[in-house]
Amino acid sequence: MVATRKQLAAWAALKNRRDRLEQGLFLVEGAKLVAEVQAAGWPIEALLEEPEAIARVSTLRTPPEVLAVVRLPEPAVSDWEPGSLVFLLDGVQDPGNLGTIVRTAAWFGINTVFCSTDSVDLWQPKVLQATMGAFLRVACPVVDPVVWVKGLPPETPVFGTFLEGENLFTAPLPRAGVIILGNEGHGIRPELGALVTRRFTIPQFGSGESLNVAAATVLLGAEFRRRMV
Amino acid sequence: MVATRKQLAAWAALKNRRDRLEQGLFLVEGAKLVAEVQAAGWPIEALLEEPEAIARVSTLRTPPEVLAVVRLPEPAVSDWEPGSLVFLLDGVQDPGNLGTIVRTAAWFGINTVFCSTDSVDLWQPKVLQATMGAFLRVACPVVDPVVWVKGLPPETPVFGTFLEGENLFTAPLPRAGVIILGNEGHGIRPELGALVTRRFTIPQFGSGESLNVAAATVLLGAEFRRRMV
């Protein structure tokens, strides 16, 4: 398709969250990811294959060979489905971390990743890239985390990792509940931490001071799932 | 200290691997990381605290409040210590992945991460940032991975993850050996894969196609260590 200069400028602005919301569109960059979006049947507004047009719109240092402008889906349903295991992200800031978490969720069959309003936006190109297409299979509703947890059915298990808590590798684990993952620097905010019903610790075997939030997510996802077998 | 314009230009070039090797220096950005380097007693060539000087040298979009120019240490010893558990990275390209892997190694008491010559350079600012200071505690010798594995003592266990292999979560595991982690796109190169003596698979519970290499590293490190307890 031939796009006007004005259209290209509007699409280039989709690197910003505000513009994505205003235009109801987001960018998908690279042949592999574009093919997955097409295969999933998501509505594509424009498909750019002209190097010059791509260079004007792309967010990548090395512009990809193909770029799609895709319609944003309706916001995902923010209800917790009883009996399901989900992640709740509390202010995760790093695009690579969010993308890796969504990719990890898909691997472990965790179909919903709730994101606090102050988490990085799922539709940012770097996040989508890091999901390796898993954003097509995992729903990521945006919620106020404290309000949302308070609205859960009573007795819903709410898990979090802290410096002190039960040993994640040996603690008994149920099949369902909400696993909270905190901000890279500050962890889980206190108002939310107060709502956690089971506190876990990931055993440390060396001199390291902390684990990356995406690393903790992988261990939590694996631990819950392997116990189900 | 007051730095000349020429010095600042030379230090700004330290964002490039070649300049780091030529000058024998690398950059450490941000108060927390600089404090850790100082506490560890690494030789600091220059400490910049002037906003203008920092802005000229920094690799960060938002320049930090402090920046240190640090002397590169001698290359780490590339011998495998019998009885130890180590990682060997085969062409890991993403700075965030390498940093997270080194941070994870520190957490699990894995003191050496061997890096193939074509892996991303440890001393790149983004990598150092992602290690959260763990580069001070984990040695990362650079080796030709195929030559290096061929030179290991006979009977040294060499582990790798593949789409088909023993279930990592149930396979018997020794306490020592070499765990190979492959490139983000291509996995472990065939010549190196041929030297693997135990092939593992990380069980998949959902629809995800793959796990990030740093995610796989976390599961491998945790699995070997928890079995030792």
B171-202: per-residue pLDDT in tens? 999 999 999 999 999 999 999 999 999 999 99
- Give bridge partners of residue A179 from the DSSP assignment: A87, A159
Q: With beta carbons under 8 A apart, name residues in chain A contacting B224.
A: none
Question: Could you tell me which chain A residue has the CA closest to the CA of B137?
Answer: A207
Question: In this structure, are residues A88 and A196 in contact, taking their beta carbons and an 8 Å threshold?
Answer: no
Q: Which string of DSSP letters, residue by residue, matches A97-151?
A: HHHHHHHHHHHTT--BEEEETTSPPTTSHHHHHHHTTGGGTSB--EE-HHHHHHT
ipTM of this predicted complex?
Answer: 0.94
Does any CB of chain B come closer than 8 Å to the CB of residue A218?
yes
Which of A127, A173, A209, A224 would you mutate first to test chain B, the one with the most B CBs within 10 A? A209
Does any CB of chain B come closer than 8 Å to the CB of residue A110?
yes
Are B219 and A218 a contacting pair at CB < 8 A?
yes
Closest CA to B106 of B141, B140, B134: B134
Question: Could you tell me which chain A residue has the CA closest to the CA of B130?
Answer: A212
Does any CB of chain B come closer than 8 Å to the CB of residue A175?
no
Does any CB of chain B come closer than 8 Å to the CB of residue A62?
no
Helix ranges (H only) for chain B are 5-12, 17-23, 31-39, 51-57, 95-107, 125-131, 145-150, 190-193, 213-228
- pLDDT in single tens digits along all 229 residues of chain A: 678 999 999 999 999 999 999 999 999 999 999 999 999 999 999 999 999 999 999 999 999 999 999 999 999 999 999 999 999 999 999 999 999 999 999 999 999 999 999 999 999 999 999 999 999 999 999 999 999 999 999 999 999 999 999 999 999 999 999 999 999 999 999 999 999 999 999 999 998 888 999 999 999 999 999 998 7
Q: With beta carbons under 8 A apart, name residues in chain A contacting B100.
A: 212, 214-215
